[in-house]
Amino acid sequence: MLLRHTPDKITERSALTINPAKTCQPIGAMYAALGIHSCLPHSHGSQGCYAYHRSTLSRHYKEPAIAATSAFTEGASVFGGQANLLQAINNIFTVYEPDVIAVHTTCLSETIGDDIPQIIAKARDEGKIPPGKYVIHANTPSYVGSHITGFANMVKGMVDYFAQANGHRENRINIIPGYVEPCDMEEIKRLAGELGVDIIMFPDTSKVMNGPQTGKYHMFPAGGVTIPELIEAGSSMGTVALGPLASGLAARALDTKCKVPCEILNLPIGLTATDTFIDTLRRIAGVTVPDSINIERGQLLDVITDMQQYFFGRKVALAGDPDQLISLTQFLVDIDMWPIHIVTGTPGKKFEAKIKEITKDVPHPVNVKAAGDLFLLHQWIRNAPVDLLMGNTYMKYIARDEDIPLVRFGFPILDRVGHSYFPTVGYRGGLRLLEKILDALLDRQDRDAPEEGFELVM
């Protein structure tokens, strides 16, 4: 349904969300678990929940998102899901033979109050978990948080169950990439490789959710962080966590458990955040930034300089995940665009304060809302129009109703391809973002130009 009947008058809503700018915790937990090699995510709840989570990931990545479910029925809803999970663990290891099962809870199992660690211990005592195999878990009720907090909880579970200190500090850095595309994880690894830094990245969905078509189906693709690497993460000399909300929880847990010091950075989207990421890796590892990276940075600066006239003063409305929006807002401010309406569905007052700090010099009133929704964003846009929208597929309805160009960015993107193959992190990712923004703005300029102003050359 289109949104042309959205009212201009904004009314305070405390118990009603309309068109949420997020999805539920288990989706993030399932995506994180797919970043472990030979892991089968397991949804401890009903078949309907598991089907929704799988289908959302599959529609976004255009890849099969494998998972299992405890398949709750009325009996499990009344008496608890222990018997279902015990049977599921036994069946999964017998039939599919993964190295690890990653259990995440749902609304139903959380409301019942199933004690997952106790059930896992019982499964091990009863011999349902073969030697050398693992079951880990994360509590991810859908009625709090978002897919970002679900991702964070599952990544923390990787630390809790696997990371071990061996008494030495290895010349290696852990990188927790945050909730980004598999191609973004590849780009982060490439940049670390250019610097000559040995890393362990967890989770790592590259070549899992953007793998090649070989003509053969592999339930467990070649990608993903391995169990030995997760164990060795406890002996690295440091951790760089990208995205405070998605990665900070696991980084702090690793510091507490194994005394691996951590630095929590913004996602390396755009110039400023990528500079910080590169400099942090350089400083921790004691290396020199090579010319290859300096050239990439210079190319990004060149495009910013050449195209500044098209960016300057253009007003933007954004919706998406907090970690991504913070870095994206900084990038837009760096190129003299004006992000004036910013909404995330994930709760957290720190987000609002950070956005206000980044946009303090924007010469226009700035609206920002955590735990907001797209209905509110649409109302803001009606009261103060913008030149560009940036957000996921659901923003296309606002774009159509208000006749505003849309750059698709974030999760989920259901109606386009390329986001899982072409990164938006790092300097190369910044170039791609600039290209997408310029294409949207200049396509609109060409569409609206009179005959005498329809230029061949920019």
For 104-136, what is each residue's pLDDT tens digit?
A: 999 999 999 999 999 999 999 999 999 999 999
Highest mean pLDDT among 8-17, 261-270, 346-355: 261-270
Sole residue written with tokens 């949104």: 3
Rounded alpha-carbon distances, angstroms, from residue 225 to 158, 187, 199, 204, 369: 11, 16, 11, 6, 35
Task: Determine how many CB atoms are found less than 10 A away from the CB of residue 347.
Answer: 16
Are 74 and 138 contained in the same domain? Answer: yes
Here the tokens at position 50 are 């598991």
Token readout for 272 is 């400023």
Residue 180 sits in the same domain as residue 198 = yes
Residues recorded for the chain: 458
Residue 177 is predicted with a pLDDT of 98
Residue 86 falls inside a structural domain: yes
Residue 390 lies in a domain: yes
Between CA 47 and CA 111 the distance in angstroms is 16
- Work out the percent of the chain whose per-residue pLDDT is above 70: 99
What pLDDT score was predicted for residue 1? Answer: 47
Question: Residue 145 domain-assigned?
Answer: yes
Are 329 and 412 within one domain? yes
- For residues 284 and 376, state if they share a domain: no
Q: Are residues 93 and 77 in the same domain?
A: yes
Contacts of 221 (CB under 8 A, 6+ apart): 207, 208, 211
Instruction: Please tell me whether residues 69 and 145 are part of one structural domain.
Output: yes
Instruction: Assess whether 182 and 286 both reside in one domain.
Output: yes
Q: What does the mean pLDDT of the chain come to?
A: 95
Residue closest to 152 by CA, chosen among 135, 165, 139: 139
What is the mean predicted confidence (pLDDT) over 405-429?
97
Q: Which residue among 295, 323, 342 closes a domain?
A: 295
345: pLDDT strictly greater than 90: yes
Give the C-alpha separation, 157 to 234, whole Å. 13
Identify the residue with better confidence: 450 or 4.
Answer: 450
Position 36 pLDDT exceeds 50: yes
Task: Average the pLDDT over each of 15-19, 38-42, 241-245, 276-280 and give the range with the smallest value.
Answer: 15-19
Residue 319 has pLDDT above 70, yes or no: yes
Using an 8 Å Cβ cutoff, are 349 and 371 in contact?
A: no
- Distance CA(359)–CA(367), nearest Å, equals 10
SS3 category, 247: helix
Asked if residue 58 has pLDDT above 70, the reply is yes
Domain match, 63 and 138 both: yes
Q: How many domains does the chain have?
A: 3
Q: Do residues 396 and 360 both lie within one domain?
A: yes
Positive or negative torsion for Cα 9, 402, 420, 69: positive
d(CA 136, CA 161): 6
pLDDT band at 311, cuts 50/70/90?
Answer: very high
Residue type, 185: M
Give the pLDDT band of residue 75 (cuts 50, 70, 90).
confident
- Helices 322-334 and 271-285: crossing angle in degrees, nearest 10, is 110
| Residue 161, token pair as written in the block | 């169950």
Q: Is residue 47 part of a domain?
A: yes
pLDDT of residue 3: 65
In whole angstroms, give the CA distance from residue 262 to residue 274.
18
Q: Are residues 130 and 222 in the same domain?
A: no
pLDDT mean over 277-305: 97
Name the residue range of residue 266's domain.
170-210+218-295
Q: Tokens at residue 75, please?
A: 């009996």
Residue 106 shares a structural domain with residue 233: no
Residue 2 has pLDDT above 60, yes or no: no
Q: Is residue 445, in this structure, part of any structural domain at all? A: no
Q: What is the pLDDT of residue 339?
A: 98
Residue with tokens 């659901």: 394
Please, which residues bridge with residue 27 across strands? Answer: none
Contacts of 229 (CB under 8 A, 6+ apart): 200, 202
pLDDT the model gives residue 358: 98
Is residue 11 situated within a structural domain?
no
Q: Closest by alpha carbon to 316, among 298, 342, 348?
A: 342
Residue owning tokens 């878990």? 137
> 56: Cβ–Cβ under 8 A, 6 or more apart, which residues?
23, 27, 412
CA 234, 239, 242, 244 torsion-angle sign: positive
CATH code where residue 226 lies: 3.40.50.1980
The average pLDDT across 30-37 equals 98
Per DSSP, the chain holds a count of helices (H) and strands (E) of 18, 13
Amino acid at 9: K
Task: Reduce the DSSP state of residue 373 to 3 states and report it.
Answer: strand
Tokens standing for residue 367: 């609206």
Answer yes or no: do 276 and 176 share one domain: yes
Q: Give the model's pLDDT for residue 441.
A: 97
